[in-house]
Amino acid sequence: MKYGSWTGAFLSGTIRRTVGEVTLNPIWMTNYSLTINAMEIADSAEQFVGLVPTARVAMAARTSPCKLTKEQALDLSRMLQEAAK
């Protein structure tokens, strides 16, 4: 696998490190989590943030990784901090 992981392949980059994972409240037999990865584009070393929301049910999982620039990640961080006040 060129990118080293499914997340890397979906986002065309490599995971430098997994920053953490937040487990969300289950809803009707489905468990949700959000994984945050520090990533970089393989060919240019340009860094970005990979968010990987995952929904898990018995014998199946669904994930939809998305790519955020550093600026977008900082904006999201500010919005989450404001919402949590």
Domain boundaries in the chain?
6-83
Instruction: Write the pLDDT tens digit of every residue in 10-66.
Output: 888 999 999 999 998 888 889 999 999 999 987 787 899 999 999 998 888 888 899
Residue 84 has pLDDT above 90, yes or no: yes
Cα separation, 11 vs 47, whole angstroms: 12
Look up the pTM and report it.
0.83
Average of per-residue pLDDT across 54-80: 92
